[in-house]
Amino acid sequence: MTDPTAASSNTCYRHPDRQSFVLCQRCGRTICPECQTPAAVGVHCPECVREQRARFTENRRASGPSSLTVARRRFAMLDQKATVVLIAVSVVVWLLDRLSGGFLSQWLAYNSALLPTQPWRIVTVLFVHSGVFHILFNMWALFIFGRMLENMLGTWRFLALYFIAGISGSMLVTFLAPGTWVVGASGAIFGLFAAFFVLQRSLGNNAVQLLVIIGLNLVIGFLPGTNISWQAHVGGILAGFVTGFVFARTRNIRQRGLQTGLLVLEAVVAIALCFVGYAVTVG
């Protein structure tokens, strides 16, 4: 005969039809092999394991991210090093320009009338900004789209896109607004918008919202009293579309030479057109 009381104490608490003589080391419940989780000493039941995991997760949240997690986040920022450098240089130039009373603007801003003797201005104009809202908007846009594009394209392709779009902005200013003083990275920023749109479309993604953003920001430049160089915006957009198309069509590693050649050609044409525009409008 079997004693019913003894039998009930020797069965798994989760499976009463299974006999077991193994106890959980934490709570003392009887557990069958299926319910046993090996521990440093003995075994634990499912409830004790669940409780330990919950307590471990709570302690991790309370103590914040581990040093390894922080290190990984910092290392990930290296993937956007060009974006970070561009923002840092722009901010430093803006601060020094404020402190010097506009001294840097006099030497870095773009004016097509000075192109033959001071050609560096077609590039340095990207690092000069007027007011605080001007640099905040441009750097915010560069931080958002620059990081995404640098991750997609790599550092050197991203820099090529940024400067080709910026130079193209200066080029169109030369043709359509000769002798006008221009500052800011807006031409390059709009180039990033356009290139990102083309790349998203080439990957089959819906980028209509981005197109709306480009259109709205472009329209703002035409509003009276805004004092915005819409010419630089249009020039950057055109270069961004072309450069994005080049990237989309030469993604194969075997086309790397062709891609490099096309980017160099774009830069040369943009610079040459700046001088052509000077000869036509100012010279």
Q: In sequence order, what DSSP letters do the residues of 229-279 get, joined into one string? A: -HHHHHHHHHHHHHHHHHHHH--SGGGHHHHHHHHHHHHHHHHHHHHHHHH
User: Of the candidates 222, 163, 154, which has an alpha carbon nearest to the alpha carbon of residue 192?
Assistant: 163
Instruction: Look at residue 224 in the predicted model and tell me its pLDDT.
Output: 67
Q: What value does the mean pLDDT take over residues 47-75?
A: 67
Q: What is the average pLDDT score of the chain? A: 84
Q: Is 201 exposed, middle or buried (0-12, 13-18, 19+ CB in 10 A)?
A: middle
Q: Which stretches within the chain are classed as H helix?
A: 4-9, 46-63, 67-76, 81-99, 103-108, 121-124, 132-153, 155-176, 186-202, 208-220, 230-249, 256-281
What are the pLDDT digits (tens) for 84-106?
999 999 999 999 999 999 899 99
| Positions marked active-site | 186, 233
- CA dist 163 and 209 (Å) reads 25
Q: Which residues pair with 112 in a beta bridge?
A: none
Structural contact between residues 221 and 229, judged by C-beta atoms closer than 8 angstroms: yes
Instruction: Look at residue 66 in the predicted model and tell me its pLDDT.
Output: 54
Question: Is 253 or 198 the better-scoring residue by pLDDT?
Answer: 198
Task: Place 275 in a pLDDT band, splitting at 50, 70 and 90.
Answer: very high
Task: Place 5 in a pLDDT band, splitting at 50, 70 and 90.
Answer: very low
How is residue 107 written in tokens? 């030497």
- CA dist 184 and 228 (Å) reads 10
Instruction: Look at residue 41 in the predicted model and tell me its pLDDT.
Output: 66
Instruction: Look at residue 4 in the predicted model and tell me its pLDDT.
Output: 36
Q: What value does the mean pLDDT take over residues 223-252?
A: 87
- CA dist 272 and 280 (Å) reads 12
Q: Is 128 exposed, middle or buried (0-12, 13-18, 19+ CB in 10 A)?
A: buried
Q: Tell me how far CA of residue 1 lies from CA of 4, 6, 7, 8, 56, in angstroms.
A: 9, 12, 11, 14, 47
pLDDT value at 51 more than 90: no
Instruction: Look at residue 85 in the predicted model and tell me its pLDDT.
Output: 95
pLDDT value at 187 more than 60: yes
pLDDT value at 23 more than 70: yes
What are the pLDDT digits (tens) for 106-134?
999 999 999 999 999 999 999 999 889 88
Structural contact between residues 117 and 165, judged by C-beta atoms closer than 8 angstroms: no
Longest dimension (CA), the chain: 117
What are the pLDDT digits (tens) for 137-150?
899 999 989 998 99
pLDDT value at 78 more than 70: no
Question: Is 233 or 208 the better-scoring residue by pLDDT?
Answer: 233
Residues 6+ apart with CB under 8 A from 244: 161, 194, 195, 196, 197, 198, 199, 202
- CA dist 234 and 62 (Å) reads 50
Instruction: Look at residue 75 in the predicted model and tell me its pLDDT.
Output: 44
